[in-house]
Structure 1
């Protein structure tokens, strides 16, 4: 985005969050997110519907449009023609063919805005049976809109959360509706400049921003559905999910799917191909046990226009796998770290534990093996886990890790810096695994060298910056440094076609960098008893040689230290004398 677009989104974020944060006085973050995100969703589907209406109206009047044109001469006068146009705009098939949600009249944003200001008890419309429908409250009006959308769009059935249960005052909700109404999501203008952002881009950004803010407001609980954007971006940039089936068994709010969608769009611009056509080659599958988060994810996909399959319902991934037959090309997940309460006796002989039964008190290696189980023969996966997973030998974890290495499934290990997550201070790492480390060419023209029995270690603990006093984040350069290193290692020695669409960073030569990355052999890992902590392999960062011989430098520094100790003793004696003069004894 250009600077003006970024400023516009920043100002929009601040404005909407300030309005939403007023609900804090009435609700905690865990609840008021449903109210705000529900309104964002209603605004999006209504805006998208209106955009489609405007497009249809132009086509109905366009003589050159052989499909949609409605000749005025076919109607008795202008009044009948205008009525025909309005009736044609209400044909449901026009919207479904363009993958736009059908929004019934009671659910349209203009209806909410107009009816919310009316006195309670006012007749709004008549139902199908001819009975008067009266305004009960603004929250009822919003819930009715959500219900109407669910009834008209089976994909959303059971997903949209109702807000009447939170018992908010009419004036409070009316203020939120007015705030959203005063903001232009379709054809936005900022500082006199027309922006090229679409309503989907803007509302998708707002939705993502609010998820992050709610995660911060909720603390540990909120972090359960929010993975830091930079970590999601890093994993997607490393796996590069251009086409195929993408699966997240602990999807939270669907951040990996959104980032995959953005990845395709960005690389489509760079390589000058049609992103919408490329997206047709991607299908997303997810699972989430928390019913609230499952709904948030589905709404997130709907706002982005991403087709999805999240199973029939929210469910426990281990006990009620919603995609038992799925074999995905890309598997990505950030499950709860070191989850203790996950075991059931029904899992004792589970076919997923191919490399060893996971310990009952820690689900880390249950997640690893579940994801391997769902990986296609040429698939790849990335999994965020606590650092302990790289070295623990308790309760069969060491044996499982050894099997994974010996079976040549482990491809790359990335150690992350601390303070990246809102919900935990536990140091984390990323496991990258694949079932095929041999030389090959992908369907997208990418070439991979033979990396069998070789393993890449990246120590990224010194990267990133403190975004505030609590949270660390990665810059775009940090992400590029890690991802480019991984791609260069994967493709070292592979024959790369100039027509493959690879950029220069992907074609660069891989080399070990002390303190940062190391390509290790199986024998080296055996010497370390199959511990996969990158710091053991990458070594120390090379120090710049200042030309001073070590013996001379040591003598000089020792002399400086003696002088500083002497100065410290002198200052201490001076302080004691001064305090003694004031009548204090030490």
Structure 2
């Protein structure tokens, strides 16, 4: 009798590690627990790099330099004292004080490597009182990751990115702002092409924009040494995530001396960036007092953004940071496209000054923190005719100062994790190609890298002259320009109802869980309640 074939998919390193990590979490909140797991991943990575460099020194006959940090730092390797090395942690994994030993190791690494100042988790392991046996099991699992096995594959970076996304999903609405979904960041990078120069993110979260910028450079055979990274992050724990994220990938960046509010304490006041990539908080209220930041130079003579919403504060902050040839790609809630009052006056001036290049509506359910559709804005201070080369690709841009490209992506995307949407790489390529073909001279069609001549497509894209925008009272809502034909006929109602059914089921489960937790609280207080 023939054996029955198995089609069970083998779990990836990321999935296996996530399963092991989840067993440890228990009652610890994902917002805190992520620092525990990511701290351990960093510790393993740093130790593997240290041991590899140590072997190099031995092979070179330099044994007397094995404990000198300079011989590690010169190769961009973090120096680890004996008590901070992974081998020491594993040897003591079953000890009752292992949590304290891990905290001490992370603190010691940070103390011995100035570039890691403010980056690593601080006393998380001891404070959270984790189950020792489960912690030991997690250490064993991480110990099996050979970060040096395949130098061409960024194993640790891949694991780190996977965990960031899983934690963002676990934290859900209102808590996962540290992470912008990878496919959106990829789209921004492919559109604005951060190939060389200064990159800035005023609300950098865990640093995903920077990581994707480096990936863009590498995929187009550029040199990441030609990029300088600057960023700022308000939340201290997220600031640590970003510094760790960059350190794991060997990316040097200036994220400021500390975690700080970009509006109240700008860490890069005189910066002029060639590229800005950002996903600032949506519709931030009370971001400044009525009498604060009135004469701030970032407003550049525009009206002062209203205190009720920071959207235009972010827009002007980024516009003020652009170099003479700078381009910015950033995300905002859709309300910024048509607001009145001071927002209207600022938007009008931005359009009249030729700064707004493209407005792209994204699908719903792309973010883990909100299910609303949001907008990708592209501001460009270099919309005149010029030629630019990215790796093997050369583009001849035409003057687009009197036009704005509108795109609507709400009908594309592929599902993942049941209730979320992401862009496939093919979709990212299609959208960015549409944008770049719009930017180029039609006479450049003879260029062998030219794939298509831009044309308006109903329900997808439209190039509007500024006269049209003025007639529509400076609204940037794409549906006012893009032609829509029989959109309702394209809706798959079976799929839509199935999606709604799953969402409703999840809501009922959450409600039931909340009821049980509430009953438990009252019971602990000595009250019995029947529902």
**TM-score normalised per structure 2:** 0.85
More divergent stretch after superposition (259-268 vs 233-242): 259-268
Structure 2 equivalent of residue 178 of structure 1: 140
CA spacing shift, 1:57–1:86, aligned 2, 3 Å: closer
Secondary structure of residue in 1 paired with 2:474: coil
Secondary structure of residue in 1 paired with 2:354: coil
1:523 to 449, 467, 477: 467
2:276 to 331, 335, 339: 331
Partners of 2:24 and 2:131 within 8 A in 1: no
Structure 1 equivalent of residue 224 of structure 2: 279
Structure 1 equivalent of residue 331 of structure 2: 384
Mapped partners of 2:209, 2:443: distance in 1: 29
Mapped partners of 1:312, 1:461: distance in 2: 40
| Cα offset, 1:333, TM superposition | 0.7
| Cα offset, 1:402, TM superposition | 1.0
Cα shift readout 1:466-493 (whole Å, capped 9, x = no counterpart): 2244211111121111110111111133
Mapped partners of 1:399, 1:168: distance in 2: 54
Mapped partners of 1:463, 1:390: distance in 2: 21
| Cα offset, 1:396, TM superposition | 1.6
Structure 2 equivalent of residue 272 of structure 1: none
Partners of 1:107 and 1:149 within 8 A in 2: yes
Structure 2 equivalent of residue 554 of structure 1: none
Mapped partners of 2:118, 2:157: distance in 1: 21
Structure 2 equivalent of residue 571 of structure 1: none
| Cα offset, 1:458, TM superposition | 0.9
Structure 2 equivalent of residue 168 of structure 1: 130
Partners of 2:17 and 2:141 within 8 A in 1: yes
Aligned residue-pair number: 472
Kindly name which structure, 1 or 2, has the bigger radius of gyration based on alpha carbons: 1
Mapped partners of 2:395, 2:90: distance in 1: 51
1:153 to 113, 133, 138: 113
Structure 1 equivalent of residue 400 of structure 2: 451
| Cα offset, 1:508, TM superposition | 2.7
CA spacing shift, 1:359–1:206, aligned 2, 3 Å: same
Mapped partners of 2:90, 2:238: distance in 1: 28
Structure 2 equivalent of residue 370 of structure 1: 317
Partners of 1:449 and 1:494 within 8 A in 2: no
Secondary structure of residue in 1 paired with 2:379: strand
Q: Which runs of 5+ in 2 are unaligned?
A: 1-8, 488-531
After TM superposition, the structure 1 = structure 2 runs for residues 182-201 of structure 1, keeping only pairs within 5 Å, are: 182-187=144-149, 197-198=152-153, 201=154
Are 2:378 and 1:432 aligned? yes
| Cα offset, 1:94, TM superposition | 2.3
CA spacing shift, 1:287–1:496, aligned 2, 3 Å: farther
Structure 1 equivalent of residue 453 of structure 2: 509
After TM superposition, the structure 1 = structure 2 runs for residues 65-144 of structure 1, keeping only pairs within 5 Å, are: 70=61, 85-118=62-95, 137-144=97-104
More divergent stretch after superposition (293-302 vs 465-474): 465-474
Partners of 1:245 and 1:329 within 8 A in 2: yes
Mapped partners of 2:200, 2:151: distance in 1: 32
Partners of 2:445 and 2:452 within 8 A in 1: no
- Superposed CA RMSD in Å reads 2.0
Structure 1 equivalent of residue 428 of structure 2: 479
**TM-score normalised per structure 1:** 0.77
After TM superposition, the structure 1 = structure 2 runs for residues 325-364 of structure 1, keeping only pairs within 5 Å, are: 325-344=270-289, 345-354=291-300, 355-364=302-311
Partners of 1:465 and 1:474 within 8 A in 2: yes
Cα shift readout 1:21-40 (whole Å, capped 9, x = no counterpart): 11331311111111101101
Partners of 2:57 and 2:63 within 8 A in 1: no
Q: Which runs of 5+ in 1 are unaligned?
A: 1-6, 61-69, 71-84, 121-136, 188-194, 269-274, 544-586
Secondary structure of residue in 1 paired with 2:299: coil
1:235 to 188, 199, 207: 188
Mapped partners of 1:478, 1:261: distance in 2: 21
| Cα offset, 1:404, TM superposition | 0.8
Mapped partners of 1:335, 1:177: distance in 2: 35
Structure 2 equivalent of residue 63 of structure 1: none
Secondary structure of residue in 2 paired with 1:419: coil
Mapped partners of 1:116, 1:479: distance in 2: 45
Mapped partners of 1:329, 1:312: distance in 2: 22
Mapped partners of 2:151, 2:259: distance in 1: 37
